[in-house]
Structure 1
Amino acid sequence: MSGSSDYQPGRAVRGGVPLVFPWFGGGPEGDRVPAHGFARLATWHLISAAVSPKGTATLRFGLDGPQVTDAVADSFTHDYGLEMHVSLGETLLQQLVVVAGDEELAFEEGLHTYFAVGDVRHTHVEGLEGEAYFDKVTGSCATQEGLVTITAETDRIYESASNTRIVDEAWGRTIQIEKVGSAQTVVWNPWVDKSRTMTDFGDDEWPGMLCVETVNSREQSITLAPGQRHLMSQTISIL
């Protein structure tokens, strides 16, 4: 969590796991607002909460299209339903369920996970070796050679359904991210200059974070037939 995050209604929280829906960034054409969609700004309702005998807490939240105001949703349809299932125990499980209404539903989605690390300059990501990616910083495409390391501003969309691991050398731990229903992984760190332009992010916070995101965007966006459901999930554990 950024120490500069703005905890106000209608403002995105800088940290945690912001929910991306129904478009990623500015959408396919780059002209949609707010950035990353409106689901992370809307007010969800609690459907259920329970704790298992082993101490695992499970929560279900819902957001129905008719509940979202036109001012927040721009011109996006209101004919859909969302659920977020969260299980907190020895691992963190998050499931995003999207249900189309009476019409076909097309959308992008993501779990924009911020991970705290000891020093991103001494951290690497495993599991993306040999995968193609689009580099949003340079506007070019490339293939990953070896492990993903962070040595400058990094914003890449990897075409990969594979699981990944964050190896945090400074804190001596490995974080595993297992995902289902996601065809892409985004790796992001703003580095020095971009951090200074972000009003809700401290200038010196970039070494202590790394985003590894479970995503379906661009050519991997989802289209559901009327009444169809789609599930995307991630399970995060410490090895």
Structure 2
Amino acid sequence: MDRREVAAVLAHIGRLDPRTVRTGTGEARDQIAQWQELLDDVPFATDHGWDVREAIGSHVLDSPYPILPLDVARRWRAHRRDRLNRHTDPTPAADPDDPAAWRAELLRSRNAVATGMAGPSTHQQVTSGGRSRDVEERVREIGSCIPPAVRAELARYRPSRAAREATVAEGIPDALGVRCDWCHAPVGSPCRQRRANPDGAARGNAVRTTPHPSRVDFAAALRDRHRAA
């Protein structure tokens, strides 16, 4: 706030709490200078939720003590901190291969939210707006978001996933894509070899290298049903 805005703020406070009024010209001048120094980076009002008059009114109602410039500055900092805590950085339009431009755009976005020039973005926007056209074209070209060379490298670290992909590529139904009614293994989890004692208590729960036949049959039937549809 500039000196004119600070003078208006002090006049507003004087109407709400006469204890803060300075009658002497020198005292009033010193009071304006003190408040302006401490509230130099505090806006009078913003388009997104901040008005210094509302902060002053809240203090007068909540506290029996005369308001100080520090009280206003702390309320502004709390307001700004709350806005930033609710803000989720939108994906910059800058080229991600240009770190300086990417960072500069993020800083501009955060500064706009912190100063009240823009409202906080309270939802994740990493994938908002859909994929760009060039990404869509590449996915149609290679058939997957993961390039074949990268997928081949990843196969060493996720053999189960690689085996499922190879099975589907050969035209065999993906048994792990459905729930197993025999051992109750959920979708994506391998079947388990359950053994029971004569009294019915389970005594084994080893992972099977192959899914139960009933699970394979169910996956095949589901695939055929989808093809027919």
TM-score range, shorter chain: under 0.3
Give the strand-richer structure, 1 or 2: 1
Q: Considering only CA atoms, is the larger Rg found in Structure 1 or Structure 2? A: 2
- Report the structure, 1 or 2, having the larger helix content: 2
TM-score (norm 2): 0.17
* TM-score, structure 1 normalization: 0.17
